[in-house]
Amino acid sequence: MIKEKQIFEQSASSRLNDFLEIRRGGDFGEVKPITPDASTREYFRIKWERSTAIACVYQESFLPETQPYIDVTNLFAASGLPVAEILDSDGERGVIIHQDFGDKILRDVVETVSDDESEVLLHQTITLIAEVQKATLKAFELGSIASRLAFDFEKLSWELDFFTKHYFESLRGENLSESDSHNLKKELDEVATELAARPRILTHRDFHAANLMLDQTGRICIIDQQDARMGTSSYDLVSLLLDRVEEPPPTSWIREKRLFFLEERRKLGLPPIDPDEFAHEFRLQTIQRCLKAIGTFSFQTAVRGKTQYAQYINPMFEIVLHATEWLNRFPHLQTIIKKQLTSIEPN
């Protein structure tokens, strides 16, 4: 029985092999590593029953009854959302075995299909966000961990502090002046305060095309849902439409998707939201979410050496700048972003 978390010295592959030896016996077949996106977990494709499965191996032990991925997966499954079935787990070895959806990441698929097909997939995905939000009541009924976590002021401001630390210090090797640091912090706290006061609903928290897959039937499925929590109605839509873009999308296109989303919510019987009020929240959430993403991209690039994320930083800044200009607010943030956009490209 696990009494407290244990950080493993034994490698993920070795612990997985031990698990398979116990569960499957000596002949458990090939164990194939799968490269994760920006995860600290390690993934493997393994033989399971008469098919294959995915083994997710954590850096530390866990209690299955309180493990976030298991908890949120159970919530989503109970709500009829398309998530991978959990087939087995071993908290002492930090192993979860779940259904194998295959290799079709939505982000890759949309780059190979026609514009019309891409729009169809995008609309199906936006509908999924509304379906996640409909599961809010179920989260509270089940006592899910997602119902007890929220994008409150502390969480939002922590993410914004993560941006300032890892973009300016880790990536750029810069220190803001005392005045710039104070004024920026004041404005970012305003963003966090206003978003924390907005009505909350269930969010995936990292809902973008790299965390969505097409299974063997072509159905769009959700992955990486372990960080689900309560947040704004616009949070997942901002993430889907604006995360990891190479250039800012047209304003008219964003507006069209916002309205489509509100209509999908209406069809599911969710409370109506005024389109203008939603547009305001969407822009405010854009500032927070995109700055948070810049912090993540900076950390991945500078600290973890994953330089492929650097290309998304300037487009994210452009999107944030556009949102601040639409709101006609946050002048210090605007000035700092303009300075960054005219400086040299991040290394």
Domains of the chain: 12-100 (3.30.200.20), 149-203+229-341 (3.90.1200.10)
Residue 50 has what pLDDT?
A: 86
Residue 25 has what pLDDT?
A: 75
Residue 344 has what pLDDT?
A: 56
Q: Where are the beta strands (DSSP E) in the chain?
A: 32-34, 42-48, 51-57, 86-90, 95-99, 104-105, 201-203, 212-214, 220-222, 229-231
Residue 24 has what pLDDT?
A: 76
The encoded tokens of residue 49 equal: 């029953």
For residue 309, the 8-state DSSP code is: G
Residue 9 has what pLDDT?
A: 82
Contact between 41 and 56 (Cβ < 8 Å): yes
The encoded tokens of residue 62 equal: 């866990």
Distance CA 31, CA 194 (A): 48
The encoded tokens of residue 58 equal: 């954590």
For residue 103, the 8-state DSSP code is: S
Residue 338 has what pLDDT?
A: 97
Distance CA 205, CA 252 (A): 25
Q: What is the mean pLDDT of each run of 10 residues along the chain (347 residues)?
A: 67 93 80 78 92 95 95 99 98 97 96 96 99 99 98 98 98 95 98 98 97 97 98 99 96 98 98 98 99 97 95 98 98 97 67
- Phi, psi for 334 (deg, rounded to 5): -60, -45
Residue 346 has what pLDDT?
A: 47
Distance CA 105, CA 108 (A): 5
Q: Which residues make beta-bridge pairs with 57? A: 42, 95
Query: Which of 100, 70, 69, 337 shows the shortest CA–CA distance to 227?
Result: 69
Distance CA 339, CA 329 (A): 17
